[in-house]
Chains A and B, each alone.
Chain A
């Protein structure tokens, strides 16, 4: 018993006093990790060079597709409840609750140009998360809302907007004001542009 104890204590002393060997081990393990990273990176590169379809897959997934925040959040809420539990249901009634109405629509670049009243107050078509606010060429001031079904809707040619980036917004709430009588809409899902008839039946 005493021998075991002394052996244990000696081991402990060794590890405490031998700082040099500890440092050496640290360096060796660090370089090993770098080596493994190199090997994985180079194999990936070789694979990319030889296989063009894999290259396309990677570029599409990494550089072009969005991470669908609202879709994941909606799914999680459905099966597990909200991520931040709260003592009240967060369904406060808002005064502004309308559906989008327009006179006529015609295609415009990737999306559609809707003719609406002057200074029309735009309601949100589908609830989701605001992922972009800013100027886009040909569209003017634009808000992009990623819906809970994974469809990105661009609202172009706005003047004022009542949302901020990364806000979760609800269907029918106030989004913003149109600059003149044109509202540009684009429906996009994974690099494909959807038709307005499927998404917004004319009323």
Chain B
């Protein structure tokens, strides 16, 4: 518990948002939304800690949070799905408790808004990452990433168009632009995360039951043991990571 407490951070935009809240006098609404977001992130964090993942930080943004772990790219898909799902589940439980004690109609509205927005298929949001993990079950690592990336770009595009023409809201627009840059960042970082994915396989012993024959090194699957042509995966990776030494 103490370790979690030390790792909670507030983003700078959160403080700007606080000034806005104080000027507009929306203390009650803000308190309920903050509690919902906070318990959502705690749900991710505590599940991760119970599964023996190492927590890096919990960052709170105005309309959501971000929980970071020292995660392995080769960690089990089901465990990751569990960690992702426990956030919304704890949020629902918190909402039910809040709704029992304080009977305000807007708690339900804000709770559903946060939950539904969080489950949109955009990478970096829970929904998009969940979709990515589900794709990983039957597509290769890179293919599932690019597929979920395309879906998240489409969703963001339509969301921004909807906001501009149908439901003008400056704060929501800012958030969508922020998400857009986050998605672009993940696109830029994909080569590094794929290299990490391969390096982990080279450095640690993973035992996977599924076996697959693939043609090139860019077709690796999660939770699968591969044969590249006739060569064993271990041998191939050893050659791959040591060939530039000399």
Binding site for B on A (CB under 8 A): 67, 69-70, 72-73, 76, 79-88, 90, 92, 129, 131, 166-168
Contacts and interface: CB of A to CB of B under 8 A. Distances in A.
Given A81-B172, A85-B171, A87-B112, A166 B24 contact: no
Interface string B159-193: 00000000111111000000000000000000000
A37 B125 CA distance: 44
A82 B169 contact: yes
A84 B25 CA distance: 12
A61 to B, nearest CB: 15
Contact of B23 (A69, A90, A168): A69
Interface string B65-82: 000000000000000000
Given A83-B20, A83-B171, A92 B25 contact: no
Interface of B: 20-21, 23-29, 33, 105-106, 109-110, 112-113, 116, 167-172
Given A80-B170, A87-B116, A167 B28 contact: yes
Given A84-B29, A90-B106, 4 more contacts: A67-B25, A80-B169, A85-B172, A168-B26
A83 B21 contact: yes
Contacts of B109: 86-88, 90
A73 B25 contact: yes
A90 to B, nearest CB: 7
Per DSSP, are chain B's interface residues mostly helix, strand or loop, or mixed? helix
A86 B167 CA distance: 10
Contacts, number: 59
B23 A81 contact: no
A67 B24 CA distance: 9
Nearest to B27: A166
Contacts of A84: 26, 29, 33, 110, 113
Contacts of B27: 166
23 contacts: A67-B23, A73-B25, A79-B170, A80-B170, A81-B167, A81-B168, A81-B169, A81-B172, A82-B169, A83-B20, A83-B24, A83-B171, A84-B33, A85-B113, A86-B106, A86-B110, A86-B113, A87-B112, A129-B25, A131-B25, A166-B28, A167-B28, A168-B26
A72 B110 CA distance: 21
B105 A92 contact: yes
Which DSSP category, helix, strand, loop or mixed, fits chain A's interface? loop
Contacts of B167: 81, 85
Find the residue from B25, B26, B27, B28 having the highest chain A CB count within 10 A: B25
A88 B33 CA distance: 16
B171 A81 contact: yes
Contact of A72 (B23, B28, B105, B168): B23
Nearest to A88: B109
Contacts of A87: 109, 112-113, 116
A70 to B, nearest CB: 7
Contacts of A131: 25
A74 to B, nearest CB: 9
A73 B25 CA distance: 8
A185 to B, nearest CB: 22
A128 B77 CA distance: 50
A131 B28 CA distance: 13
Contact of B26 (A80, A81, A83, A90): A83
A28 B8 CA distance: 29
Contacts of A79: 170
Nearest to A75: B24
Nearest to A79: B170
A77 to B, nearest CB: 9
Nearest to B30: A84
A72 to B, nearest CB: 5
